[in-house]
Amino acid sequence: MSDFAVDVKGLTKCYGSLKAVDNVSFQVEKGRSFGLLGLNGAGKTTTFKMMVSLIRPDRGTAIVSGYDVVKAPMAVRSHIGYVAENPAFYTRMTTLETLRYICRLLDVPVNDQSQRIDYVLGLVGLMDKKHALVGGYSRGMRHRLGLAQALLSEPQVLFLDEPTLGLDPLGAKNMRELILRLRQEREVTVLMSSHVLPEVEAICDTVGIFDHGHLVAIDTINNLRSATSYDLNIELSLVGPVQQVASALRKIRGVSRVEEIGDHLFITASKQEELRPRIMQEAIENNAQVLSFGLQESSLEDILLRLVKSDVSDLPEQRSGIISSFFRLTRKSIR
Average pLDDT in the 308-315 region?
A: 52
Between the alpha carbon of residue 304 and those of residues 12, 88, 195, 197, the distances in Å are: 22, 30, 11, 9
Alpha-helical (H) ranges within the chain are 44-51, 73-79, 95-105, 110-124, 139-151, 169-186, 197-203, 221-228, 242-250, 276-285, 300-307, 322-329
Identify the pLDDT of residue 314: 40
Q: What is the pLDDT of residues 131-143, one digit of tens each?
A: 999 999 988 889 8
Q: Find the farthest-apart pair of alpha carbons in the chain and give their distance in angstroms, rounded.
A: 78
- Domains of the chain and CATH, by start: 4-225+309-329 (3.40.50.300), 230-296 (3.30.70.100)
- pLDDT tops 60 at residue 327: no
pTM greater than the 0.85 cutoff: no
C-alpha–C-alpha distance, residues 110 and 236, integer Å: 64
Burial class from Cβ neighbours inside 10 Å (0-12, 13-18, 19+) for residue 92 reads: exposed
Strongest mean pLDDT among 77-86, 193-202, 211-220:
211-220
Q: Are 210 and 8 in contact (CB under 8 A)?
A: no
Q: What is the mean pLDDT of the chain?
A: 86
Name the nearest CA neighbour of 4 among 156, 201, 208: 156
Query: Residue 223's pLDDT band (boundaries 50, 70, 90)?
Result: confident
Between the alpha carbon of residue 13 and those of residues 9, 51, 227, 315, the distances in Å are: 13, 12, 29, 11
Q: What is the pLDDT of residues 107-126, one digit of tens each?
A: 899 999 999 999 999 988 89
C-alpha–C-alpha distance, residues 68 and 71, integer Å: 5
Average pLDDT in the 292-317 region?
A: 69
C-alpha–C-alpha distance, residues 106 and 78, integer Å: 7
Q: What is the pLDDT of residues 251-296, one digit of tens each?
A: 998 898 899 999 999 988 887 677 888 999 999 999 999 999 887 7
C-alpha–C-alpha distance, residues 28 and 8, integer Å: 9
